Amino acid sequence: LISSFLVRISFPFSIGHRHQQTTAKRVEEVEFDGPCMKTEVPGPRSKILAQQLESIQSVVQVNFFCDYEESKGNYLVDVDGNRMLDVYTQIASIPIGYNHPALTKVMTDPKNMGTFVNRPALGMMPPEQFSEKLVNGLMAVAPKGFSRVQTMACGSCSNENAYKAIFIWYRVRAGVLSFFFQVPGCPDLTLLSFMGGFHGRTLGCLATTHTKAIQKLDVPSFDWPIAPFPQLRYPLDQFERENAREEARCLEEAEDLIVKWNQKGRHVAGVVIEPIQAEGGDNHASFDFYRKLRGITKKHGCAFLVDEVQTGGGSTGKFWAHAHWGLDDPADIVSFSKKMLTGGYYQKDSFQPDKPFRIFNTWLGDHTKNLLLTEVIKVIKTENLLDQAKRSGKVMLEGLYDLQDKYPHLLSKARGIGTFCAIDVKDEDTRNLLLLKARNKGVVLGGCGTQSIRFRPALVFKEHHAHLFLDIFNDAIAELK
């Protein structure tokens, strides 16, 4: 990584920068040249704002307040003027960095004004450009095998409605007559999900979410089958046989559950799974595991729903993480949100209810997000950001391997695809301390699972950002003794 044009980055505090930038930046790429920390985070202004907000809302989850006008590219600026390299991106939901000029252009185009100030009921009275924006947006990046998409407002609504589409499909397929005016039959169908999976927090989604106890506590739920998710041992190449055995055990148990629940009349209409269990701790399984799971769903007539809410949008180096699996037969439904800006799901034709108002709500998403997404997709293609994610991810993962070699008592299980990386810290308290230390040195990170750190940079995160991140992260770790 030899630079042809060196740029020295200066920090007011002790933030190291030992890696060199790889290329001179083009003018339009100029963002900030590094973090710049003026206070601890949260700083005094953030604290005052939190006090004000506290009289209206809970602030127990608030990290700090941001200046979104001043933020740019990979850098998030807070209200105390601290400028941080953002490797968390609003819980993995900012696709191409802050204030990307392509998005600003969408907002200032007078042609789009009518869309932004008049929110249509998209299912009843869509705007003239609706199809066109879907074709150039969501459908332009549809996973292999999908020609239909339904937009929704957020990730939870996407999964809730995808679940409904599965139940309706299952009953139609089973030949159950669905007459319009009969007393509603709410059958005792089930969905199979996995321990450690996260699919949202509304009541239907929550029945399939199994990450932290606090998320489900005190809330009534559906009694649905839950299969174990493989607990792989790292480094993967040293535990090939053990891991294969673990995956086989989980698949066997999943299939057993389907058979047993079908036998007791509580049929498993579908299986829902993430390509990487993100909130649950960045738990990976092999591509082979997923291919075999797909086979099991086919064998037992269950729908196969891949939840790409966090993994979708390109950070794994492919637009959809499940595209890495090489499925012979595509999934049945793929749900998304976050970096896609709009929620929704792709579905096979047979999952489209034939009767109106079975899948419906007032807004069915927000067309303003389709306009923005169309531009995001253009930028991803024009700037080859999927390849960028592969390259930056390689730097990150190799750097994480180096760090865990350097600090084996603190770090383990460096893992990832593209920039969708994670590492484990020895325990939860140390993990949380490390997150704070890194933030005060100018890097925003997020935790997941009990003791993992997840790395979720935007797609405009380049190799030099990865080096910068690794330097600062190294400094933060070094301070843990």
Name residues contacting a second copy, limited to 114-143 (CB under 8 A): 114-121, 123-128, 130-131, 134-135, 139
CB of 160 to a second copy, least distance (A): 4
Q: Which of 415, 414, 393, 418 is nearest to 319 (CA)?
A: 418
Which of 155, 197, 393, 449 binds a second copy (CB under 8 A)? It is 155
Answer whether the bond into residue 42 is a cis peptide, omega within 30°.
Answer: yes
Return the amino acid letter for 292. K
The three-class DSSP label of residue 227 is strand
Interaction with a second copy in 27-66: which residues (CB under 8 A)? Answer: 49, 52-53, 55-58, 60-66
Please report where in the chains the tokens 């929550």 appear, as a residue. Answer: 206
CB of 20 to a second copy, least distance (A): 29
Scanning 110-118, 280-288, 311-319, 463-471 for contacts with a second copy by CB under 8 A, the matching segment is 110-118
DSSP 444-469: E-EEETTTEEEE---TT--HHHHHHH
CB of 481 to a second copy, least distance (A): 27
Catalytic residue among 78, 80, 282, 307: 307
Burial of 253 from C-beta contacts in 10 A (0-12 / 13-18 / 19+): middle
Burial of 125 from C-beta contacts in 10 A (0-12 / 13-18 / 19+): exposed
CB of 426 to a second copy, least distance (A): 18
> Which one, 4 or 58, has the nearer CB to a second copy?
58
Cα separation, 114 vs 226, in Å, equals 46
- The answer to whether residue 471 is catalytic is no
> Which one, 287 or 363, has the nearer CB to a second copy?
363
- The answer to whether residue 338 is catalytic is yes
Catalytic residue among 338, 339, 413, 441: 338
Scanning 24-32, 160-168, 233-241, 284-292 for contacts with a second copy by CB under 8 A, the matching segment is 160-168
Question: What are the Cα distances from residue 304, in Å, to 44, 250, 326, 427?
Answer: 49, 16, 15, 35
Cα separation, 222 vs 208, in Å, equals 9
Interaction with a second copy in 161-180: which residues (CB under 8 A)? Answer: 161, 163-164, 167-168, 170-172, 176, 178, 180
DSSP 135-204: HHTGGGGPPTT--EEEEESSHHHHHHHHHHHHHHHHHHHTT----TTSPPP----EEEEETT----SSHH
Cα separation, 330 vs 336, in Å, equals 16
> Which one, 50 or 244, has the nearer CB to a second copy?
50
> Which one, 119 or 260, has the nearer CB to a second copy?
119
Q: Which of 403, 406, 424, 402 is nearest to 415 (CA)?
A: 424
> Which one, 289 or 336, has the nearer CB to a second copy?
336
> Which one, 333 or 477, has the nearer CB to a second copy?
333
CB of 75 to a second copy, least distance (A): 12
- Label the pairing between strands 411-417 and 443-444: unpaired
- # residues near a second copy by CB under 8 A: 120
- Are 315 and 418 in contact by the 8 Å Cβ rule? The answer is yes
Q: Which helix (H) or strand (E) holds 268?
A: strand 268-273
Q: Given strand 75-77, what is the order of strands in its sheet?
A: 75-77, 83-86, 443-444
- The answer to whether residue 405 is catalytic is no
Which of 76, 273, 340, 396 binds a second copy (CB under 8 A)? It is 76
CB of 462 to a second copy, least distance (A): 19
CB of 298 to a second copy, least distance (A): 21
Q: Two tokens at 481?
A: 């003794």
Which of 108, 241, 263, 265 binds a second copy (CB under 8 A)? It is 108
Give the torsion through C-alpha atoms of 85, 108, 91, 60, to 10 deg. 100
Cα separation, 399 vs 470, in Å, equals 6
DSSP 17-56: --SPPSSPPPGGG---SS-B--S-SS-HHHHHHHHHHHTT
Q: Which of 385, 375, 466, 464 is nearest to 100 (CA)?
A: 375
CB of 367 to a second copy, least distance (A): 9
> Which one, 255 or 375, has the nearer CB to a second copy?
375
Catalytic residue among 64, 65, 167, 198: 198
- The answer to whether residue 307 is catalytic is yes
Which of 6, 8, 175, 357 binds a second copy (CB under 8 A)? It is 357
> Which one, 106 or 327, has the nearer CB to a second copy?
106
Interaction with a second copy in 393-452: which residues (CB under 8 A)? Answer: none
Q: Two tokens at 359?
A: 């899948």
Which of 15, 153, 162, 434 binds a second copy (CB under 8 A)? It is 153
Which of 79, 323, 414, 422 binds a second copy (CB under 8 A)? It is 79
Interaction with a second copy in 81-100: which residues (CB under 8 A)? Answer: 90-91, 93-94, 98-100
> Which one, 148 or 378, has the nearer CB to a second copy?
148
Catalytic residue among 222, 362, 381, 405: 362
CB of 238 to a second copy, least distance (A): 31
Scanning 8-16, 228-236, 360-368, 395-403 for contacts with a second copy by CB under 8 A, the matching segment is 360-368
At CA 436, angle to CA 282 and CA 464, rounded to 5?
A: 70
Interaction with a second copy in 207-266: which residues (CB under 8 A)? Answer: 207, 212-222
For the annotated catalytic residues, the residue numbers are 198, 307, 338, 362
